[in-house]
Amino acid sequence: MITSPAFVIDPAVLRDHGITPDEYEKIKQLLGGREPSHTELGIFSVMWSEHCSYKSSRVHLKRLPTRSRLVLQGPGENAGIIDIGDGWACAFKIESHNHPSFIEPFQGATTGVGGILRDIFTMGARPVAVMDSLRFGPISSNSGLSVQPGAAAPTQAEIHKNHSVMEGVVSGVASYGNCFGVPNLGGETKFEPCYSGNPLVNAFALGLVKKNEIFYAKAAGAGNPVIYVGAKTGRDGIHGATMASEEFSETSEAKRPNVQVGDPFLEKLLLEACLEAMQTGAIIGIQDMGAAGLTCSTCEMGARGGVGLEIEMDRVPQRETGMTAYEIMLSESQERMLLVAQKGREAEVYRVFEKWGLDAVQVGHVIAENTMRVLEHGNVVAEIPNQALTDDAPVYKRPLQRWEPPVPREKPEHIQWNAGKDHTSDLRRLLASSNICSKRWVWQQYDSMVQTNTVEGPGAGDAGVIRIKDSQRGLAMALDGNGRWCYLDPRLGAMHAVAEAARNVACAGAVPVGATNCLNFGNPEKPHIMWQFSQAIDGITKACEELDVPITGGNVSFYNETLGEGIYPTPVLGIVGIIEDIRQAVHPGFREAGKTVVLLRGSDPGDMADAEPEFGSSEYAKEILGALWGYPPALDLEKEAALQKAVIEMAQAQLLDSAHDCSDGGIAVTLAESAFSKGMGIKVNLVSRGLPSEFVLFAEDASRMVISCDRGKLHGIQQVAVKYGIAADVIGETVPEKIEISVDGAVAVSANVNELHKVFEESLEKALRTEPELVAAD
Amino acid sequence: MKFGVITFPGSNCDHDAYWAAQQVSGQKAAFLWHESHDLENCDAIIVPGGFSYGDYLRTGAIAKFSPVMESVRKFAASGGLVLGICNGFQILCESGLLPGALLRNVGLKFICKPVHLRVENADTPFTSACHKGEVLTIPIAHMEGNYFCDESTLAELQRERRIVFRYSNAEGEITAQANPNGSLDNIAGICNAGRNILGMMPHPERASAPELGCVEGLRIFESLATALATK
């Protein structure tokens, strides 16, 4: 072993590499007592980073349910895979790119999308849909009160910064996905003060693959060639994974060079070339170079196959001169893949990559020892047992400390309920609020229709739906997460994220079959953050078990803190469902006048003692009352499961005209949203059961949906409801033009649908247009 | 009858056009590789949407130099039917097969949404299944769809009835509000003097099945199929 003589490992070097003294002792022990070389230290630094090793989360993630009869591949590969029937499978996963997106919003977001797409097609699946879950700080000063404890109202400078982060992220997501040619089916965009210094960019992707054509990131066969394909390696992104494993400070912007730069055109070529090369049958295993680049793909492919990879740095295509082994191994340059081919069939692989104008170079070969060996100019610069970097990476059982949010659990006294008040203006304000309003400004920048499979695109509501060509089937997918609820109660909040994503998928008529999670949290070294994390895992576990949706993979993003201020704990769930016959897909919008409107309800509304603390976590409390108190709504998972099964059965029996989940803003917002798609009105009466009208209209009780149907199908619907033990109350009918919602017979909301629709549609754009109109310079 | 769909590196609507062409004609379609001069005896050529050569330099600017485009020029010169969709329209303009250029949208953002198009000329091989003044709903998805040409070219296009589609509202009125990208004279699609080359920014292949919410784009493909059958 040759180490650089000039290189001395002292505490400062270790600190720069994010390695603790204890970890360093363990490294030496795993290397048989010797000191690591500079390159080896870099390799350990990225592989043992929180981002790659999951060292704080691993003990908790083990609790997640990961199996069902449809799961073909659970966590541990590049993406999870579910059997969807007819010989098809789908690969899907969600990943965060929060840290880079704050430092360099456009490139941070593009490379987030690029990374998740590679995770999908490295498994042999063609990406057919993406979605994203975005969180930003407030974009207007009047968007409710700042409910983050101790935080002042956002300043103009903060708002402008949030605008520019949002603009950059959205155009980054758009630029990458549009060029790559994958439809973006929307997702969710939410705003809270806690995301001002730490936006969340979670990208979800889904791909289709024939069940017998799945590829794995597993090397095999000593002597087989290791081939590097795609973009050349540069100095970008070095220590990106390490950066994602620490908090932000004032100096974080100086880390801009750590952010990689994406090229979607190259990725499109890489996709086509990889899928075509896989068809040759000459490829044994393949893995993308994402976080920790060549390092990660080299040791993981070896580890999975119980073999080793030996690679020579001089052969790696480089776009800069004078790169050291350290830099090459740690570079996170985008659009690269590493594959192992059958010896003697290299030419078949090269031919395909040459056709697509891409580099494909043999950089090494498979060796029998379970070791990663790196050579530079023929000299060994790193030789590390694969297990030392993967299975033997540190695992921490970090201390947990139960935590109470600094928020009252009871309603503040100054807030009074107004029985019988006209709530039209409340509804208008909610529809205009940043969390509820139409995100058209966002998703209209995304190509949502390329590949001509989009049955339900972004905007209309609950889930994205695509058809599968040459098959009757379709897939539905939804993303959900509610940070504010998780802040109040991480376990219950996380259960809601699962329940709502699954409910959204069920609303489309699809059976939820698999989930992926993106867990965005603060600094895990703080016991209360670790407690939030553990609670959230418990919540997800419970809900996934009850709703029968296994977790097939995902991503943990810790250290989402700036200047010591953490974000709301924000687990985001992506759930995929199967529609057996795409013609039975249900849309969220009312279709025509004269249809019966029914409220499906899993659980009964509680009394005042239950309802009041729950109302404090609603959008109404935040936006209209400028307050936050209490708890998330109660959730009975058994009833939730019954509701979902019922609506799916109704969809399959073609009893439904529309189905839309009740969530943010309560039933009033749900009704308005369903009315908007065709400019339909409604005349509805709701029963108060003695609760204030605010609760009746705007409370966010779980397990509810608004459906519409032909009067003649009501009987069938009620039969299904009885079968599953859920309530199906007729609340009114669709009418032309006017939205009229009464409570106990007294009109509480009355407005023209087009007027409300305009408010809903335009408010985001208005909030973002704070600058005076540009005037031509000459 | 056979449709040929060109694949450039970066084309991402080639499969969609292929699918739509096959669906309608019920006949053959073939992918044509950018590096080949061979049009494989296709009867109509579709230059599909996407980001050919990454749209580096300028949209369509590199594609015009590709070997396949040399053959397309010859094919078009001999009266062959050529349909350019989105990036395909941009490529046809860059190649000089159609006049004018597609600039960046006035809003400076990518726009993807269904728009209304008024059929201005039903007397072309691409629109014979429509009638003049009819309003079609077809999606757009582009960053550079803002059609521009000089005054004399515009006058020529108008005089020769070569503006085939214009952005309109649902009632067929040509208004500034209905113009999504700032196109001169609300132009969404134009043809050459010979009526055998059409370039359009909207994507007819995306409005091609009931599940997708719209089928009116099929009219373009139906028209083409009719033109080929009677040729």
CATH number for the domain harbouring residue A627: 3.90.650.10
* Domain coverage including residue A597: 586-770
Q: pLDDT tens digits for A232-272? A: 999 887 876 666 667 766 666 666 566 788 999 999 999 99
State how many domains chain A has: 1
Q: Is the pLDDT of residue A461 over 90?
A: no
Q: What is the mean pLDDT of chain A?
A: 93
Residue A589 contacts residue A671 (beta carbons within 8 Å): no
A408 burial level (CB within 10 Å; 0-12, 13-18, 19+): middle
* Domain coverage including residue B46: 2-229
In a domain, A395, yes or no: no
- Tokens representing A545 are 């078990």
Residue closest to A660 by CA, chosen among A682, A693, A636, A690: A682
Q: Which residues pair with A360 in a beta bridge?
A: A229
A269 vs B9, B49, B55: nearest CB: B9
Which residues does chain B have within 8 Å of residue A508's beta carbon, measured at their own beta carbons?
Answer: none
Which residues of A sit within 8 Å Cβ distance of B?
Answer: 171, 174-175, 178-181, 263-266, 268-269, 356-357, 444-455, 467, 469, 582-583, 585
State how many domains chain B has: 1
**pLDDT at position A146:** 47
Cα radius of gyration rounded to whole Å, chain B: 16
DSSP A190: E
**pLDDT at position A401:** 97
Collapsing DSSP to helix, strand or coil, A776 comes out as coil
Q: Which of A17, A38, A51, A528 is catalytic?
A: A51
In a domain, A635, yes or no: yes
Residue closest to A162 by CA, chosen among A202, A192, A203: A192
Sequence-separated (6 or more) residues with CB below 8 Å from residue A672: A427, A431, A739, A753, A756, A760
Residue A48 Cα distances to A4, A93, A332, angstroms = 22, 22, 16
How many angstroms separate the CA atoms of A545 and A488, rounded?
23
- H-helix or E-strand spanning residue A302: helix A293-305
Residue A241 contacts residue A52 (beta carbons within 8 Å): yes
CATH number for the domain harbouring residue B61: 3.40.50.880
Q: How far apart are the first and last CA of chain A?
A: 67
A192 burial level (CB within 10 Å; 0-12, 13-18, 19+): buried
In a domain, A81, yes or no: no
Q: What is the distance in angstroms between the Cα of B78 and the nearest Cα belonging to chain A?
A: 30
A97 included as an active-site residue: yes
**pLDDT at position A775:** 46
Collapsing DSSP to helix, strand or coil, A266 comes out as helix
Helices A637-652 & A714-724 angle (0-180, nearest 10): 150
Q: pLDDT tens digits for B163-191? A: 999 999 999 999 999 999 999 999 999 99
Q: What is the distance in angstroms between the Cα of B128 and the nearest Cα belonging to chain A?
A: 24
- Tokens representing A294 are 């060549």
Residue closest to A616 by CA, chosen among A523, A487, A718, A715: A487
0.90 surpassed by complex ipTM: yes
Q: Is the pLDDT of residue A151 over 60?
A: no
What percent of chain B is helix, strand and coil (3-state, nearest 5)?
Answer: 30, 25, 45
Q: pLDDT tens digits for A661-677? A: 999 999 999 999 999 99
**pLDDT at position B224:** 94
Q: H helices within A148-259, ranges in order?
A: 156-180, 240-243
Q: What is the distance in angstroms between the Cα of B96 and the nearest Cα belonging to chain A?
A: 24
Whether chain A has a CB inside 8 Å of the CB on B213: the answer is yes
Which residues does chain A have within 8 Å of residue B15's beta carbon, measured at their own beta carbons?
Answer: 451
Cα radius of gyration rounded to whole Å, chain A: 26
Which residues does chain B have within 8 Å of residue A455's beta carbon, measured at their own beta carbons?
Answer: 211-213
Q: Which residue has the tokens 């989360």?
A: A57
Q: Which residues pair with B117 in a beta bridge?
A: B136, B167
**pLDDT at position A291:** 82
Largest separation between any pair of C-alpha atoms in chain A: 86
B191 included as an active-site residue: no
Q: pLDDT tens digits for A18-66? A: 999 999 999 999 999 999 999 999 999 999 999 899 999 999 999 999 9
CA dihedral (A36, A38, A42, A45) in degrees, to 10, reads 40
How many angstroms separate the CA atoms of A609 and A618, rounded?
16
Task: Find the mean pLDDT for residues A760-772.
Answer: 84
Q: Is the pLDDT of residue A777 over 70?
A: no
